[in-house]
Amino acid sequence: MIRYSLKCGAGHGFDSWFKNAEGFQALLAAGQVECPVCGLAEVEKELMAPAVRPARKSAARPDLSAPGSEMEEKLAALKKQIEENSEYVGMNFAAEARKIHAGDATERAIHGEAKPDEARAMIEEGLPVAPLPFLPARKVN
């Protein structure tokens, strides 16, 4: 995509995006580029400066894996505690939670994933479940 600063014959300035330079020329030749103010199809590109970003210094890059705030540190600690003290059961969370609640499986701390309708049903059934404020490791980019 390319953005051009344009001006119509009446002097109105505006910006517009195009697939590429050839796409702009084809639309302009077909009379399909019009001024959004007055509708005039007599349009030309204005002088533009390219958007150039300054070079980044490698030392100035932030460590994105480290918590950025006190809240992020607390969430990271909570996640670590839950992962160390419970078993991840993945998408089988709803079924496994029901088995534990019914006494058909060994009582233990578990965490996993459930679809919204499954989570709602577990809460309505009285299962002691709660949403976690983070994604499982496999879903983190």
- Domain membership of residue 15 (yes or no) is yes
Does 78 share its domain with 126?
Answer: yes
pLDDT tier, 52 (very low <50, low <70, confident <90, very high otherwise):
confident
**Is the pLDDT score of 140 beyond 60?**
no
Q: Is the per-residue pLDDT at 124 higher than 60?
A: yes
Phi, psi values for residue 53, rounded to 5°: -90, 145
Number of domains into which the chain is organized: 2
Is 61 a residue whose pLDDT tops 80? Answer: no
Query: Do 40 and 91 fall into the same domain?
Result: no
Domain of 101 in residue numbering reads as 70-134
Residue 56: pLDDT over 70: no
Give the CA distances from residue 81 to residues 9, 33, 67, 76, 90, in Å, rounded to whole numbers and listed in that order.
67, 59, 16, 9, 17
List phi, psi (to 5°) of 102. Answer: -80, -10
Q: Is residue 122 part of a domain?
A: yes
**Residue whose pair of structure tokens reads 């697939």 in the numeric block:** 19
Would you say residue 141 lies in a domain?
no
Q: Are residues 130 and 74 in the same domain?
A: yes
